Copies of this chain bind each other. A is one copy, B any other.
Amino acid sequence: MLSAARRSVRLPVRTGAARAFATEHNPPTRFESSSVFPDEPQQPAVKTDSIPGPKSREQSAAISQFQDPRAHVVVADYLKSKGNYLVDVDGNEMLDVFAQIASIAIGYNNPELLALAKTDEFATAAMNRPALGSFPSAEWAETIHSGLLSVAPKGTPHLFTQMCGSCANEGALKAAFMAYRARERGESGTQDFTPEELSSCMKNASPGTPDLVAMSFKHGFHGRLFGSLSLTRSKAIHKLDIPAFDWPAVSWPAIQYPLDEFAAENAEAEARAIANVEETIKAQAKKGKKVAALIVEPVQSEGGDNHASPNFFKALRTVTREHGVFLIVDEVQTGVGATGKFWAHEAWKLDHPPDFVTFSKKMQAAGFYHNAETRASHAYRNYNTWCGDPIRALQARELISFIKAHGLVQHAAVIGDELYSAIENLGKKYGGQINKLRGKNCGTFISWDAETPEARDRFVAAMRQHGVVMGGCGEKAVRLRPMLVFGDKQLATLLDRMETVMKQEAGH
């Protein structure tokens, strides 16, 4: 079905001017990982009767003395891992289409990243971590201009760097609350804060601590700190026993598949969801609670890989603008190319851009892009000791450069389409095992529902035993999160192993 030899083009690693030229004028659309990872395994090699094997279990037991090991899949040998392949301490070589929960972009031990790690610039930045908001480095402006800012989403040219995805969402949220109040009071300087505001906020009381709320979608996941967890609505085990803000959740449209059979129903479901958003904003206002921000993932990832159409998001932008609600697009999992766009929300073609776009994971650096209105009115309002990490900004710059030079966004779009079609065909062959296939025209951001949660868990475990690391999400979904260096060879391997496992399952 897949002729890797015919389609793939071997690209030398490009640097400097050659790379810049490729970026601007000649982005290749296919990528063959052996061009960068000559030692990458050709296929999985499973060496232990069960995964995790005995050495993994031994290491997990050692970790257990101080830290919870119950979510361990395997203990990995990162020195030996290469490209798309994760190697564990038992020597199992596994095709990894989960990629550290969607956070490895350009392969294990990417030679350009390793070369960066050995530079004096990187070592100096690693071992002299600054309080960035007060003592930035001589290189900071240039690192950001040539790196993170070079991929700033349209309309959000400002940047606040932080340490992780949860922090990024909370930083954006803080900026949204401050900007909302600034707009309310027509803020122009310190004198605009009343003595009552300044004293009441020290008691966590109104008016200084406002009764503003943020809104999120049911099944959404936005992190696990106290503000972000209040917005997260994925699984009870994430939220149970943790105090949360009384913030409203709105319904995600219940999209039916296949899309072309349910076009009218889906349009109606999305219209209902938008109506629910507007009703909730009004209902909150009646209770004296103004909705300052709405946060949304382009694809609800942890919650089950739930998609919606560009029209839905356009309507969401319209309704939030009408009610003065800041729109935070959480691209922590969707960002950096895997959907076939650098930012997933580019596919929406909005007339008015989001107010905030948050990122982390594959970018390795974390933070949020935002517009001019949401810059803080005073110094120290959004601030912390580190304000991010310069080495992660350097790494992001290198990642971005590699992605551009090798045309990996376009590559993800093209190979994602093929992967989608192939899985669609598998679904026809193994009825019932692949339901609600999702992610058409969405790069490699592909998922489907198993028949039951147990069948999903069985599938993921069997795939691992056949040398493929996969992840689930939601109640019974399987999600694919290959790296951007996932190519024809890996695609063929993935399909081969999927078919083997599905054949076994069908025979049960």
Complex contacts, A133 vs chain B, CB 8 Å? 68, 71-72
What per-residue 1/0 map shows which CB atoms of A330-344 lie under 8 Å from chain B? 000000000000000
* Complex contact B144–A127 (CB within 8 A): no
Residues A120-135 near B (CB distance < 8 A): 120-131, 133-135
* Complex contact A117–B122 (CB within 8 A): yes
Q: Does A14 contact B (CB under 8 A)?
A: no
Given A113-B127, A208-B240, decide whether A141 and B246 contact each other with a Cβ distance below 8 A. Answer: no
What per-residue 1/0 map shows which CB atoms of A138-161 lie under 8 Å from chain B? 101110110001000000011111
Residues A170-184 near B (CB distance < 8 A): 170, 173-174, 177-178, 180-182
**In the docked arrangement, what's the CA distance between A167 and B286, Å?**
34
* Complex contact B101–A131 (CB within 8 A): yes
**In the docked arrangement, what's the CA distance between A239 and B376, Å?**
13
Chain A residues touching B, range = 35 or more
* Complex contact A225–B227 (CB within 8 A): yes
Closest to A203 in B: B249
**In the docked arrangement, what's the CA distance between A164 and B59, Å?**
26
* Complex contact A75–B128 (CB within 8 A): no
The stretch of A5-13, A382-390, A413-421, A436-444 that contacts the partner chain: A382-390
The stretch of A102-110, A258-266, A315-323, A449-457 that contacts the partner chain: A102-110
Complex contacts, A225 vs chain B, CB 8 Å? 166-167, 170, 225-227
* Complex contact B379–A71 (CB within 8 A): yes
Q: Does A247 contact B (CB under 8 A)?
A: yes
Complex contacts, A159 vs chain B, CB 8 Å? 66-67
Q: Does A89 contact B (CB under 8 A)?
A: yes
Q: Does A63 contact B (CB under 8 A)?
A: yes
Q: Does A373 contact B (CB under 8 A)?
A: no
Complex contacts, A164 vs chain B, CB 8 Å? 163, 167, 384-386
The stretch of A42-50, A76-84, A306-314 that contacts the partner chain: A76-84
Given A130-B76, A193-B236, A236-B201, decide whether A103 and B385 contact each other with a Cβ distance below 8 A. Answer: yes
Given A117-B122, A378-B237, decide whether A104 and B128 contact each other with a Cβ distance below 8 A. Answer: yes
What per-residue 1/0 map shows which CB atoms of A188-217 lie under 8 Å from chain B? 000001000111011111001111111000
Most-contacted residue by chain B among A199, A218, A228, A384 (CB, 10 A): A384
* Complex contact A211–B71 (CB within 8 A): no
Q: Does A165 contact B (CB under 8 A)?
A: yes
Q: Does A403 contact B (CB under 8 A)?
A: no
* Complex contact B125–A78 (CB within 8 A): yes
* Complex contact A137–B75 (CB within 8 A): yes
Q: Does A391 contact B (CB under 8 A)?
A: yes
Closest to A223 in B: B384
Complex contacts, A243 vs chain B, CB 8 Å? 177, 209-214, 245
Q: Does A241 contact B (CB under 8 A)?
A: yes
Closest beta carbon of chain B to A382's beta carbon, Å: 7
Residue in B77, B145, B149, B165 whose beta carbon sits within 8 Å of that of A385 in the complex: B165
Complex contacts, A120 vs chain B, CB 8 Å? 79
Q: Does A30 contact B (CB under 8 A)?
A: no
Complex contacts, A72 vs chain B, CB 8 Å? 133-136
Closest beta carbon of chain B to A301's beta carbon, Å: 11
* Complex contact A110–B127 (CB within 8 A): yes
Closest to A386 in B: B164
Q: Does A86 contact B (CB under 8 A)?
A: yes
**In the docked arrangement, what's the CA distance between A351 and B303, Å?**
46
Closest beta carbon of chain B to A258's beta carbon, Å: 29
Complex contacts, A19 vs chain B, CB 8 Å? none
Closest beta carbon of chain B to A384's beta carbon, Å: 5
Complex contacts, A166 vs chain B, CB 8 Å? 167, 225, 384
**In the docked arrangement, what's the CA distance between A154 and B233, Å?**
38
Q: Does A381 contact B (CB under 8 A)?
A: yes
Q: Does A361 contact B (CB under 8 A)?
A: yes
Given contacts A77-B138, A199-B236, could you give 15 more A-B pairs where the C-beta distance is less than 8 Å?
A59-B140, A68-B379, A76-B138, A78-B128, A86-B135, A118-B123, A126-B395, A163-B163, A177-B242, A202-B233, A204-B245, A204-B247, A209-B244, A240-B381, A360-B385
Listed in ascending order, the chain A residues whose CB lies under 8 Å from chain B are 59-60, 62-63, 65-68, 70-79, 81, 86, 89, 100-101, 103-104, 108-110, 113-114, 116-118, 120-131, 133-138, 140-142, 144-145, 149, 157-161, 163-167, 170, 173-174, 177-178, 180-182, 193, 197-199, 201-205, 208-214, 218, 223-228, 230, 233, 235-247, 249, 360-361, 364, 375-376, 378-386, 391, 395
Give 30 pairs: A residue, B residue, CB < 8 Å, sorted on A: A66-B159, A68-B375, A71-B133, A71-B379, A73-B134, A73-B135, A78-B130, A81-B128, A101-B131, A104-B128, A110-B127, A117-B123, A126-B126, A126-B391, A127-B395, A163-B163, A167-B225, A170-B225, A173-B226, A174-B224, A193-B240, A201-B241, A201-B244, A202-B233, A213-B243, A214-B243, A224-B383, A224-B384, A225-B227, A240-B381
